[in-house]
Amino acid sequence: MPATIDLEDLGLDRGGHLLVERALRELPVGDELAVRGRDPALNVHLRAWARDQGHAFRDGSVVVRGSAPALRWAGAERAGGASPGEIVDHPGATWGVAARGALIETGGPSVHFDYQDRDLVWADLAPRLYAQAAANQWDPASAVDWDAEFTLPADVEAAVVQVMTYLVENEQVALIVPARFLGRIHPHFREVLQVLAVQAADEARHIEVFSKRAVLRGLPPGVSGAGGRASLSTLLEEPDFALASFLLSVLGEGTFLNLLAFLEVHAPDPISRRVTQLARQDESRHVAFGMAHLEHQGSLDPGLQARLRGAVERRHDVLMDTAGLNQGVFDALVLLAAGSWRPADIARGYHAVEELQQAMDEGRQRRLVRLGFPHDEAAALSALHTRNFM
Amino acid sequence: MTFTLGAVAYDPKVVTIWTGFRDWFLRHDFALDYLLYSHYERQVEDLLSGQIQAAWNSPLAWVRARRLAEARGASVRALAMRDTDRDLTSVVVVRTDSPLRSVADLSGKLVGVGAVDSPQARLLPLALLSDAGVEVNVRRFDVGVGLHGDHIGGERDAARALVAGQVDAACMIDGNHLLFTREGTLPSGGTRVIAQTRPFDHCNMTIGPAVDGETAERFGELLLGMSYADPELRQLFDLEGLTRWCDGRTTGYAPLEAAVDTFDFYDRHGQVHARDYRP
């Protein structure tokens, strides 16, 4: 007596095959399933469906389970496990974009990703940083009171515009660099991709708010110096993930944390203070990921430090003959800290910018020491960092 | 010597399929190559002339190859077929709200069929009606003439004509009735099967008359040894629509042999007789 299933009025053209498949899964290969139902086309469709699926068909309504469905999954393997603790060191080339932990049917195309080794991209902190980032996304339209009232002297407004213009060009690079690596990393390391994706989205918002503040009072954007762009272009050209993370996130964005903190204090209007505050919160996450990844990789690769050192030195050599920070940006920072053109105020502003640069240097040295550099070498490398800050 | 197989390029995927199979055979020390044909008639003629050693033949091409070979005192062999080539049926369907209830009711009605050379959507279902003594008017949907019905377009057009009320009934293979209903060409529950043919067989791998037995055996062993568990082959099997190769059999072609005679498509010597057939 074969197993029996009754589809009632349900036809195979409306999902009846799901019930037949479910019933067949319970049977060993070669066993019979009698299919009953009231759909007038049931037997016509059942014959065609069974044939197509590799099952035998007899007596007008009996399906004999074939081996094809089981053969399809012969040799299938799990793509690691779902949780971050179950990622594998070297994901399979044919896993492609499959969900981590999914059962992978053998075959399919090999998809090449430049970064397929766990230790070249991973940081244990990545899942937590992504969760924080996802929870702390802010809406540029509502997070900033764009209608806040303030009045600035024309020179001070122009200084704000210049600083914002400078911030935008730096953030463009900070968007492009992680976005470029995003497509080169194996999706098995999902949380790393998520961190980079949010990082790019963060920068997109920063670009929006800095751009909006720049032109808020009707002035056109400020100037863009050749030296600054030369400095930023070296970041775009770095093809190695570890070195790019180091130059951009650890040294560049790390330095920017000080700059944004400076502007939170010295910016002359509430909107500028607010947008730099929002950006700084995001940037600190970017620095944290870069640090965590490099600490992870450094613990496994004794040669990493030498490569990091080489990257700083190479970049310094390339930029040696460029102007670095646009003079207009430097002057604008002094004026913002001074608040007026009175000599005493300018002196105070100049001193504040000097203190800013010293704080930037100290921050870089601290991070370099955390990455294992001796103090004297950290000081030397920090001094070679681009004068453009980023 | 390279063993050359003919296949008809009814779809671009044919290149993928036979290039994949060719690579597989080469890796198994069997020098296989393939020739693509734009229609079955030339392929069958080349099989008989020895230009190719094997032909991936439609059932109609098999009928012709067999007749041509016998007329010359030779023979061809159905070496293998797909599991999905066995025991197909074709159906004649009407709209559910049609007053037509039986095959006899179709007398004098307009029936939509596939291409002139489609076994499943013209020759076999019309033979079913003819055998029942029912004379109908036929509206043919000639898409992909020369492809022996491999191109689904004619059947689909006939199905559309049925829904549009342009024909009283339409002919199609059982699997396409399911497909057309699922994809919405036919409304679910909107058509009724009024007749179904007896089971018949479809394509086979035909071995030409001059091929030595040892070569044919080796080719057949390799073909039947292919497994759906092999991921590389599985992709090709899915494209070609099979889950395993079976031994060839010729018992399933009797209905088509009869239909070919009924409609005088080929004569007994394999010459093309069908009027309006220009592949």
> Is there a contact between B90 and B174 (Cβ–Cβ < 8 Å)?
yes
**Token pair for B189:** 């529950």
Cα separation values, A159 from A333, A350, A387, B72, B145, Å = 7, 14, 19, 98, 77
Q: What is the arithmetic mean of pLDDT over A378-386? A: 92
Neighboring chain B residues of A51 at a CB cutoff of 8 Å: 83-84, 86-88, 175
- What is the C-alpha to C-alpha distance for residues B12 and B20, in angstroms, rounded to an integer? 13
The answer to whether position B67 is within a domain reads: yes
The answer to whether position A331 is within a domain reads: yes
- One-letter amino acid identity for B187? P
Residue of A49, A54, A107 with shortest CB distance to B178: A49
Q: What is the arithmetic mean of pLDDT over A212-225? A: 96
Tokens 């197993």, residue?
A3
Amino acid A2: pLDDT: 86
Amino acid A108: pLDDT: 86
CB-based contact A75 B91, cutoff 8 Å: no
DSSP readout, B37-77? Answer: ESSHHHHHHHHHHTSSSEEEE-HHHHHHHHHHHHHTT---E
CB-based contact A45 B196, cutoff 8 Å: no
> Is there a contact between A70 and A57 (Cβ–Cβ < 8 Å)?
no
Structural domain ending residue among the three candidates B196, B213, B242: B196
Neighboring chain A residues of B193 at a CB cutoff of 8 Å: 40-41, 44
Same domain, residue pair A20 and A89: no
Q: What is the arithmetic mean of pLDDT over A93-110? A: 93
Neighboring chain B residues of A54 at a CB cutoff of 8 Å: 83-84, 228, 242-244
For residue B127, the domain's CATH number is 3.40.190.10
Residue of B84, B174, B188 with shortest CB distance to A14: B188
- What is the C-alpha to C-alpha distance for residues B61 and B205, in angstroms, rounded to an integer? 11
Q: How confident is the model at residue A388 (pLDDT cuts 50, 70, 90)?
A: confident
Q: Which tens digit of pLDDT belongs to each residue from B205-251?
A: 999 999 999 999 999 999 999 999 999 999 999 999 999 999 999 99
Which residues form the domain of B208?
3-85+201-262
Average pLDDT, chain A: 95
Helices (H), B145-271: 153-163, 174-183, 213-225, 231-240, 254-262
The answer to whether position A388 is within a domain reads: no
User: Is B101 touching A (CB cutoff 8 A)?
Assistant: no
User: Is A246 touching B (CB cutoff 8 A)?
Assistant: no
Structural domain ending residue among the three candidates A71, A95, A128: A71
Q: What is the arithmetic mean of pLDDT over A324-351? A: 92
Structural domain ending residue among the three candidates A71, A88, A104: A71
Query: How many domains does chain A divide into?
Result: 3
Q: How confident is the model at residue A386 (pLDDT cuts 50, 70, 90)?
A: confident
Q: Which of A287, A283, A245 is nearest to A261 (CA)?
A: A283
Taking CA–CA distances from B182, the nearest residue in chain A reads A13
User: Is A54 touching B (CB cutoff 8 A)?
Assistant: yes
CB-based contact B228 A67, cutoff 8 Å: yes
Picking from A10, A12, A13 by the largest number of B CB atoms within 10 A of its own CB, the best residue to mutate is A13
User: Is B98 touching A (CB cutoff 8 A)?
Assistant: no
The answer to whether position B278 is within a domain reads: no
Amino acid A244: pLDDT: 95
Q: How confident is the model at residue A156 (pLDDT cuts 50, 70, 90)?
A: very high
Residue of B175, B227, B231 with shortest CB distance to A52: B175
Same domain, residue pair A185 and A265: yes
User: Is B183 touching A (CB cutoff 8 A)?
Assistant: no
Q: Beta partners for A32? A: A64
Given a cut of 80, whether residue A178 has pLDDT beyond it is: yes
Residue of B173, B182, B196 with shortest CB distance to A13: B182
If contacts are CB pairs under 8 Å, which of residues 94-113 in chain A contact chain B? Answer: 105-108
Amino acid A326: pLDDT: 78
Given a cut of 80, whether residue A325 has pLDDT beyond it is: no
Same domain, residue pair A27 and A97: no
Same domain, residue pair A43 and A177: no
- What is the C-alpha to C-alpha distance for residues B208 and B70, in angstroms, rounded to an integer? 12
Amino acid A389: pLDDT: 85
User: Is A48 touching B (CB cutoff 8 A)?
Assistant: yes
User: Is B49 touching A (CB cutoff 8 A)?
Assistant: no
CB-based contact A57 B231, cutoff 8 Å: no
Amino acid A34: pLDDT: 98
> Is there a contact between B8 and B34 (Cβ–Cβ < 8 Å)?
no
8-state DSSP, A222: -
The answer to whether position B57 is within a domain reads: yes
CB count, 10 Å around CB of B165? 9
> Is there a contact between B56 and B205 (Cβ–Cβ < 8 Å)?
yes
- The rounded Cα A55 to chain-centroid distance in angstroms is 47
Q: How confident is the model at residue A207 (pLDDT cuts 50, 70, 90)?
A: very high
CB-based contact A54 B228, cutoff 8 Å: yes
For residue A19, the domain's CATH number is 3.30.110.40
Percent of chain B beyond pLDDT 90? 99
User: Is B188 touching A (CB cutoff 8 A)?
Assistant: yes
Q: What is the arithmetic mean of pLDDT over B12-23? A: 97
Same domain, residue pair A204 and A300: yes
User: Is A13 touching B (CB cutoff 8 A)?
Assistant: yes
The answer to whether position B242 is within a domain reads: yes
Amino acid A320: pLDDT: 82
Same domain, residue pair A59 and A144: no
CB-based contact A44 B231, cutoff 8 Å: no
Q: What is the arithmetic mean of pLDDT over B240-264? A: 98
The answer to whether position A354 is within a domain reads: yes
Structural domain ending residue among the three candidates B196, B225, B253: B196
For residue A285, the domain's CATH number is 1.10.620.20
Amino acid B7: pLDDT: 98
- What is the C-alpha to C-alpha distance for residues A198 and A175, in angstroms, rounded to an integer? 10
Three state DSSP letters for A232-243: HHHHHHCCCHHH
Residue of A52, A68, A106 with shortest CB distance to B231: A106
Taking CA–CA distances from A15, the nearest residue in chain B reads B182
Same domain, residue pair A145 and A55: no
CB-based contact B232 A68, cutoff 8 Å: no
Residue of A11, A66, A71 with shortest CB distance to B188: A11
Q: What is the arithmetic mean of pLDDT over A62-79? A: 94
Query: How many domains does chain B divide into?
Result: 2
Distance from CA of A93 to the nearest CA of B (A): 14
Same domain, residue pair A214 and A249: yes
Neighboring chain A residues of B91 at a CB cutoff of 8 Å: 44
CB-based contact B228 A51, cutoff 8 Å: no
Q: What letters, b where the CB count within 10 A reaches 16 and e where it falls short, cover A72-81? A: beeeeeebbe
Same domain, residue pair A254 and A290: yes
If contacts are CB pairs under 8 Å, which of residues 349-378 in chain A contact chain B? Answer: none
Neighboring chain A residues of B190 at a CB cutoff of 8 Å: none
Q: Which of B5, B38, B57 is nearest to B253 (CA)?
A: B57
Q: Which tens digit of pLDDT belongs to each residue from A227-284?
A: 889 889 999 999 999 999 999 999 999 999 999 999 999 999 999 999 999 999 999 9
CB-based contact B91 A44, cutoff 8 Å: yes
Q: Which tens digit of pLDDT belongs to each residue from B135-156?
A: 999 999 999 999 999 999 999 9
Distance from CA of B228 to the nearest CA of A (A): 6
Element at B167 (helix H, strand E): none
The answer to whether position B275 is within a domain reads: no
Residue of A13, A40, A71 with shortest CB distance to B229: A71
Given a cut of 80, whether residue A323 has pLDDT beyond it is: no
Given a cut of 90, whether residue A321 has pLDDT beyond it is: no
> Is there a contact between B98 and B267 (Cβ–Cβ < 8 Å)?
no
- What is the C-alpha to C-alpha distance for residues A214 and A11, in angstroms, rounded to an integer? 64
Same domain, residue pair B116 and B249: no
Same domain, residue pair A228 and A158: yes
User: Is B235 touching A (CB cutoff 8 A)?
Assistant: yes
Amino acid A328: pLDDT: 86
The answer to whether position A389 is within a domain reads: no
Torsional sign, CA A286, A289, A295, A298 = negative
The answer to whether position A375 is within a domain reads: yes
The answer to whether position B267 is within a domain reads: no
Q: How confident is the model at residue B168 (pLDDT cuts 50, 70, 90)?
A: very high
Same domain, residue pair A90 and A153: no
Q: Which tens digit of pLDDT belongs to each residue from B33-78?
A: 999 999 999 999 999 999 999 999 999 999 999 999 999 999 999 9
The answer to whether position B274 is within a domain reads: no
Q: How confident is the model at residue B120 (pLDDT cuts 50, 70, 90)?
A: very high
The answer to whether position A245 is within a domain reads: yes
The answer to whether position A359 is within a domain reads: yes
Same domain, residue pair B170 and B94: yes
Which residues form the domain of A41?
3-71
- One-letter amino acid identity for A339? G
Given a cut of 90, whether residue B17 has pLDDT beyond it is: yes
Same domain, residue pair A28 and A87: no
User: Is A74 touching B (CB cutoff 8 A)?
Assistant: yes
- What is the C-alpha to C-alpha distance for residues A244 and B103, in angstroms, rounded to an integer? 76
Same domain, residue pair B120 and B212: no
Q: What is the arithmetic mean of pLDDT over A330-352? A: 95
DSSP readout, A46-108? Answer: HHHHHHHHT-EEETTTEEE--SHHHHHTTT-EE-S-SSGGG--SS--GGGTTPPTTPEEPS-S
The answer to whether position B11 is within a domain reads: yes
The answer to whether position A390 is within a domain reads: no
